[in-house]
A and B are shown apart, each in its own frame.
Chain A
Amino acid sequence: MAKVTISEVICKGCGLCVSTCPKKIIELDKGRLNPKGYHPARVFDPANCIACAMCAIICPDSAIKVEK
């Protein structure tokens, strides 16, 4: 069981996590805008997360925490 927590407030919607995720389970949430005006990243298929933490490693804003 893996858990990815993305801080919606800190996220700048750069999409580096989206392109890096090997399981392709992260997307930019086009239906939402955070207070900075960005579409925040979200994990749309958490059940498939393998807790590799690659999303968190590449996140420039340290917005992602990964637990297992």
Chain B
Amino acid sequence: MAVVYEKPHALTDAVLHYCPGCTHGIIHKLVAEAIDELGCEGKTVGVAPVGCAVMAYDYFRCDMLEAAHGRAPAVATGLKRSLPDRVIFTYQGDGDLAAIGTAETVHAATRGENITIIFVNNCIYGMTGGQMAPTTLPGQVTQTTPYGRDVKLAGYPIRVCEMLSTLDGTYYAERVSVDCVPNIRKAKAAIKKAFQNQIDGKGFSIVEVLSSCPTNWGLTPVEALQWLRDNMIPYYPLGVYKDKDKEADNNG
């Protein structure tokens, strides 16, 4: 019998600590599949965030670092500038990347740092138990917005791909979702492209992945994916926000 689908090699045998139905696990697989297909596990170094994915260093079979909260793009910069022929990626959540690590993210992008960022947006701080994130939707109830996010008080969510696409240094920014298999397939293609861009020396590539948090949203895993479709995708439209490959094609 031929294997149609199995766990990718670039994931270790460690059992994921994520809650049932948390889509971090799907995104981990997509990163690992990209690494497998590009044959770059031995030359890849990943940077884990602080947040739910803090223990990603145990899950990827490539060399891994654990960074301070929000600092992964700076850590990745230090790695890449020291090991230019290695493949460096960060895996970060919304609090990590778009709140405490905003400066690191924006400046890594504007420098055109030749790294790959996997940005997991689930509109909430998961690990600390469901507080407001920079991406929490207007009106969304969290532990620290118990009456719903009031934009007059707490401001508006940050659309990271849109923001980073304004920077000349950003080579590629795409928003994808893992709410269903067709979208998972598209997400995988985007993640693989973001790695391939780095291998080709093209520069800063970010894939924002809309992800679910059933536990802190108070929904079942299946309901959570529906909530993602109904609420997140309208606010955070899927698609390519920047791709210098395409710009070159259009100009040519």
Contact = CB atoms under 8 A, between A and B. Distances in A.
Is there a contact between chains A and B in the complex with CB atoms less than 8 Å apart? Answer: yes
Given A66-B3, A68-B1, A57 B225 contact: no
A47 B152 CA distance: 57
Nearest to B211: A60
A64 B4 CA distance: 11
Interface stretch (B22-30, B34-42, B69-77): B22-30
A14 interface: yes
Contacts of B185: 57
Interface in A10-68: 10, 12-16, 18-20, 38, 51, 53-54, 56-62, 64-68
Given A19-B222, A67-B1, A62 B7 contact: yes
Nearest to A51: B4
Contacts of B11: 62
Q: Please classify how large the interface on chain B is, using the bins under 10, 10 to 19, 20 to 34, 35 or more.
A: 20 to 34
B181 interface: yes
Nearest to A14: B21
B15 interface: yes
B182 to A, nearest CB: 10
Nearest to B23: A60
A61 B16 CA distance: 7
Given A14-B20, A65-B6, A60 B1 contact: no
Contact of A60 (B3, B6, B21, B220): B21
Contacts of B221: 14-16
Given A16-B222, A60-B24, A60-B25, 14 more contacts: A10-B15, A12-B19, A16-B21, A56-B4, A59-B25, A59-B26, A60-B29, A61-B15, A61-B18, A62-B8, A62-B11, A62-B16, A62-B25, A67-B4
Interface of B: 1-8, 11, 15-16, 18-26, 29, 180-181, 184-185, 214, 220-222, 225
Interface of A: 1-3, 10, 12-16, 18-20, 38, 51, 53-54, 56-62, 64-68
CB-based closest 3 A-B pairs:
A60-B25, A14-B21, A12-B20
